[in-house]
Structure 1
Amino acid sequence: MPHILIVEDETIIRSALRRLLERNQYQVSEAGSVQEAQERFSISSFDLIISDLRLPGAPGTELIKLGEGTPVLIMTSYASLRSAVDSMKMGAVDYIAKPFDHDEMLQAAARILRDRQNTPAAAAAERPANKPGADKPAAQNANGDIGIIGSCPPMQDLYSKIRKVAPTDSNVLIQGESGTGKELVARALHNLSKRAKAPMISVNCAAIPETLIESELFGHEKGAFTGASAGRAGLVEAADGGTLFLDEIGELPLEAQARLLRVLQEGEIRRVGSVQSQKVDVRLIAATHRDLKSLAKLGQFREDLYYRLHVIALKLPPLRERGADVGEIAKAFLIRQSARIGRTDLRFAADAEQAIRQYSWPGNVRELENAVERSVILSESTEISAELLGIDIELADLQDTDDFLGLPAQQGGANNTAHDPTEDLSLEDYFQHFVLEHQDHMTETELARKLGVSRKCLWERRQRLGIPRRKSSVASES
């Protein structure tokens, strides 16, 4: 069991963080200052140190030296976010802004511990004990180095591209709907690159106020603006030698885009208020759910920056297009959420599994994770029903329905034979063919039931494929 040291002077935060980590099978020790930690513990014996930046006496960064190689995760308030940059330069493995989301903290801790375990020294230490089946895990989990769940063809294609692109220094643009896991792809690209030992700095461009974004990214000199009492390095500078991940880059103001273009073209930055430029070696990975090419045509995104970013484009498919991956991901979330509350007996009921398969998941993986977490918390028996998932799907439509992925030739007599052979059609073609053929004599509910989807899903597919409802179909339900 990994042993984590928390160093935080605020008792409430320290206690809450301890409970969170202990619920997730970590052994935890705590201290209120660096001095207390030194007096009570052998600091280098821990697997991970999580420390506040500002502490009574010595700052949290002092633990980097005292830990003698133990990874240190620095916590900092948003107001002092720029100070975290200096922490990274001093050797902190990552930082997290307070107030932090519980999942964000758990993911950061798990990632740091996993990275530490995968270092050559750790791998060599484990090899003798695992001689007989040393190669088994890799064989069983072909995308284990990627760290993303799923094996559908679009994801296998994505894994292949990640492995090809990661070792290069090319800029990468990750495209996909919100909640599809774009940061996981960015993390995989960094971890599989030659920059893996250097920091990966993640910035959500939509989360930083427009007035602060240039200072946050590029730093500033003392007196550059009101309140700039000292010079500060920016996040681009903090990523020097490593990777800069800009999430939601479509939200970046045009002025900041111009500065970012200079970083990509010249490999240099100039702090706000400075006349001096300095060289930086940064690999840029950007992500967006927006169509940057269309934004460029509208003048809302720099066209030259778009083409600089678009060296390699990776497209993440939405969850509704990943087939059996949905069930696999849901089960992984169920295992994780069950472990948090100390239960190992929970499983999905048949109607819940069917609902998970049939629902369109507009919020993608993030929505699925939230639905599973909700169901685990509310479950009073060992079986989780579809109702507990809290998703917008008609439960009545889950009974006696055909799975859309395995649709048989429907009964329609002569109508069916007139459009032979249906087996040569794609799923979308088959859907369109079936709806157009039967909507004159079936209600929307009957159509949805025959197709094995909810009425909401039927409506969404109509919208996506541009299939209008005929008047006779509408009249039949009025």
Structure 2
Amino acid sequence: MPHILIVEDETIIRSALRRLLERNQYQVSEAGSVQEAQERFSITTFDLIVSDLRLPGAPGTELIRLGEGTPVLIMTSYASLRSAVDSMKMGAVDYIAKPFDHDEMLQAVARILRDRPKTAPQEANNPEARISGKSSSADKAAATAASGEIGIIGSCPPMLDMFSKIRKVAPTDSNVLIQGESGTGKELVARALHNLSRRAKAPMISVNCAAIPETLIESELFGHEKGAFTGASAGRAGLVEAADGGTLFLDEIGELPLEAQARLLRVLQEGEIRRVGSVQSQKVDVRLIAATHRDLKSLAKAGQFREDLYYRLHVIALKLPALRERGSDVNQIADAFLARQSARIGRDDLCFSGDAVQAIRHYSWPGNVRELENAVERAVILSESPEISAELLGIDIELSDLEDGDPLDHLPSSSAVGANPSQDPTEDLSLEDYFHHFVLEHQDHMTETELARKLGVSRKCLWERRQRLGIPRRKSSATSEN
């Protein structure tokens, strides 16, 4: 049974995590500070350390040194990208933003414990190697990446299901059809399928069928012989031939002309091609991965796509969710883009404002990941202050209309939200209950700003949560911030 050490100075949060982990068959020890952890335990004997970043005395990152290779998962305030990336550079195996829900924490813990045996000892103690692109932790340095070796950021249930299918499908030679809206990352999925296949050392040739003129598509894909058409002064191999032994990725295959579809069908059925203008065929060994944002089945019924080709392609179908359907993944991806763009211009002080975090989470992103990446790149270039606002991102959304627009919305609800401040914090409560309990316990001696900072949310989010749970703000000298 894995043994986990929790280091957190807030009794409520620490107790919640302990009970959550114990219910899921983990052995748990806890401490309120780094010093207490040193005095009570042999830190190197734990399988995993989960620690808050800000602790009384030494920060949680001190446990990275004391753990001597033991993986450390850092908890940090929501959207505190700079501190999270700094923790990763110091050697933390991952970070998780507060507030988080039960599933998010359990997924992170399970992933770290699962991947730990695969980590070479010298890499575990070498943070520079971990952020240089030499391991899957490079992505984690920028954001919480729940995808391991797949290299795609995401921890929502649809993406976890996608990762599972990728691992199962990749080692086979089956044709794959990737479906999803434009900008959702279909080529990333294709790349992951190739990299995890037995063809990984061979080339992966990517073709955007919509970007090649219809008059040239057959020549580009299948090649041509000298004199096959005007201007063909020499013979030329096509892209299918170039992918021999590897993977051919046809993006937007729904735009492929019907004549080219017939030739492609021959490649799939017979494993051979014939160049334009040639009478001889030649064998090719190609795995086909296709992608589209269109409904190929409907196109086939309308006679705009070959039905026999559709069924050849539809051996394995993977459906990518739109960014608006991926919950908190959007903030993880935004953080990753921010880290990447910041590094490009040599800045390490940029972070999203509280309003920007909410706007990113609740905007519909019709252009999906591609639109998000462009928005972050533009904001980084134009930013004159460390905080990037929603306005700078160009997000057209009214934050005041988001009554449910705070990061705690995804937390599990409870039918008995405790309003009794004397309630035992070790009782089996949801994290929303702990929010309620924390505010009631600390609001007499902490300001609203301090409460929000401890909970990892903005003051606006704190106010909205008070309204929803019916927790009035008490007027006292401690809460006065005039």
TM range (shorter): 0.5 to 0.7
Alignment of 1:199-210 (within 5 A): 199-210=203-214
Q: Do the aligned partners of residues 276 and 400 (structure 1) sit closer, same or farther apart at CA in structure 2, a change above 3 Å counting?
A: closer
Q: Partners of 2:148 and 2:228 in 1: how far apart?
A: 47
Secondary structure of 1:206 counterpart: helix
| Alignment match of 2:123 (pick from 105, 130, 136) | 130
Q: How far apart are residue 131 of structure 1 and its match? A: 6.5
Q: How far apart are residue 130 of structure 1 and its match? A: 3.0
Secondary structure of 2:211 counterpart: coil
TM-score, normalised via structure 2 length:
0.56
Q: How far apart are residue 374 of structure 1 and its match? A: 1.3
Alignment of 1:283-294 (within 5 A): 283-294=287-298
| Alignment match of 1:370 (pick from 350, 370, 374) | 374
The 8 Å contact of residues 351 and 398 in structure 1, kept in 2 or not, is answered as no
Q: Partners of 1:398 and 1:196 in 2: how far apart?
A: 46
Deviations 1:432-471 (A, max 9, x none): xxxxxxxxxxxxxxxxxxxx9xxxxxxxxxxxxxxxxxxx
The 8 Å contact of residues 153 and 332 in structure 2, kept in 1 or not, is answered as yes
Q: Partners of 1:316 and 1:238 in 2: how far apart?
A: 28
User: What amino acid is aligned across from residue 208 of structure 1 in structure 2?
Assistant: I
Q: Partners of 2:181 and 2:124 in 1: how far apart?
A: 43
The 8 Å contact of residues 176 and 182 in structure 1, kept in 2 or not, is answered as yes
Structure 1 counterpart of 2:154: 150
Given the alignment of the two structures, is residue 235 of structure 1 paired with residue 232 of structure 2, yes or no? no
Q: Partners of 1:387 and 1:407 in 2: how far apart?
A: 31
Given the alignment of the two structures, is residue 274 of structure 1 paired with residue 278 of structure 2, yes or no? yes
Q: Partners of 1:400 and 1:282 in 2: how far apart?
A: 49
Structure 2 counterpart of 1:211: 215
Structure 1 counterpart of 2:227: 223
Structure 2 counterpart of 1:441: none
Q: Partners of 1:146 and 1:184 in 2: how far apart?
A: 9
Q: Partners of 1:129 and 1:406 in 2: how far apart?
A: 38
TM-score, normalised via structure 1 length:
0.57
Secondary structure of 2:207 counterpart: strand
The 8 Å contact of residues 205 and 247 in structure 2, kept in 1 or not, is answered as yes
Q: How far apart are residue 394 of structure 1 and its match? A: 2.3
Q: Partners of 1:291 and 1:262 in 2: how far apart?
A: 22
Q: How far apart are residue 129 of structure 1 and its match? A: 3.6
Structure 2 counterpart of 1:331: 335
| Alignment match of 2:394 (pick from 376, 390, 395) | 390
Secondary structure of 1:285 counterpart: strand
Q: How far apart are residue 138 of structure 1 and its match? A: 6.3
Alignment of 1:26-105 (within 5 A): none
Structure 1 counterpart of 2:359: 355
Q: How far apart are residue 341 of structure 1 and its match? A: 1.0
Q: Do the aligned partners of residues 303 and 399 (structure 1) sit closer, same or farther apart at CA in structure 2, a change above 3 Å counting?
A: closer
Q: Do the aligned partners of residues 292 and 264 (structure 1) sit closer, same or farther apart at CA in structure 2, a change above 3 Å counting?
A: same
User: What amino acid is aligned across from residue 202 of structure 1 in structure 2?
Assistant: S
The 8 Å contact of residues 355 and 398 in structure 1, kept in 2 or not, is answered as no
Percentage of pairs with the same residue: 84
Q: Partners of 1:217 and 1:352 in 2: how far apart?
A: 44
| Alignment match of 1:256 (pick from 251, 257, 260) | 260
User: What amino acid is aligned across from residue 231 of structure 1 in structure 2?
Assistant: G
Q: Partners of 2:322 and 2:238 in 1: how far apart?
A: 33
Structure 1 residue runs of 5 or longer lacking an equivalent are 1-125, 410-451, 453-478
Alignment of 1:292-303 (within 5 A): 292-303=296-307
Structure 2 counterpart of 1:89: none
Secondary structure of 2:150 counterpart: coil
User: What amino acid is aligned across from residue 338 of structure 1 in structure 2?
Assistant: S
Q: How far apart are residue 408 of structure 1 and its match? A: 8.0
The 8 Å contact of residues 146 and 154 in structure 2, kept in 1 or not, is answered as no
User: What amino acid is aligned across from residue 130 of structure 1 in structure 2?
Assistant: E
Structure 1 counterpart of 2:27: none
| Alignment match of 1:381 (pick from 379, 382, 385) | 385
Structure 2 counterpart of 1:161: 165
Q: Partners of 1:163 and 1:294 in 2: how far apart?
A: 29
Q: Partners of 1:142 and 1:358 in 2: how far apart?
A: 21
User: How many aligned residue pairs are there?
Assistant: 286
Q: Do the aligned partners of residues 130 and 358 (structure 1) sit closer, same or farther apart at CA in structure 2, a change above 3 Å counting?
A: closer
Q: How far apart are residue 143 of structure 1 and its match? A: 1.8
Q: How far apart are residue 128 of structure 1 and its match? A: 6.9
Q: Do the aligned partners of residues 355 and 168 (structure 1) sit closer, same or farther apart at CA in structure 2, a change above 3 Å counting?
A: same
Q: Partners of 1:272 and 1:392 in 2: how far apart?
A: 50
Q: Partners of 1:382 and 1:376 in 2: how far apart?
A: 9
Structure 2 counterpart of 1:472: none
Structure 2 residue runs of 5 or longer lacking an equivalent are 1-118, 415-463, 465-482
Q: How far apart are residue 142 of structure 1 and its match? A: 5.0
Q: Partners of 1:353 and 1:252 in 2: how far apart?
A: 40
Q: Do the aligned partners of residues 379 and 407 (structure 1) sit closer, same or farther apart at CA in structure 2, a change above 3 Å counting?
A: farther
The 8 Å contact of residues 399 and 405 in structure 2, kept in 1 or not, is answered as no
Given the alignment of the two structures, is residue 343 of structure 1 paired with residue 384 of structure 2, yes or no? no
Given the alignment of the two structures, is residue 311 of structure 1 paired with residue 315 of structure 2, yes or no? yes
The 8 Å contact of residues 386 and 395 in structure 1, kept in 2 or not, is answered as no
Q: Partners of 1:272 and 1:328 in 2: how far apart?
A: 47
Q: Do the aligned partners of residues 339 and 196 (structure 1) sit closer, same or farther apart at CA in structure 2, a change above 3 Å counting?
A: same
Q: Partners of 1:354 and 1:260 in 2: how far apart?
A: 46
Secondary structure of 1:229 counterpart: coil
User: What amino acid is aligned across from residue 340 of structure 1 in structure 2?
Assistant: R
Q: Partners of 2:366 and 2:186 in 1: how far apart?
A: 15
Q: Partners of 2:212 and 2:240 in 1: how far apart?
A: 15
Q: Partners of 1:268 and 1:353 in 2: how far apart?
A: 52
Deviations 1:98-123 (A, max 9, x none): xxxxxxxxxxxxxxxxxxxxxxxxxx
Q: Partners of 1:275 and 1:156 in 2: how far apart?
A: 48
Q: Partners of 1:339 and 1:298 in 2: how far apart?
A: 49
Structure 2 counterpart of 1:321: 325
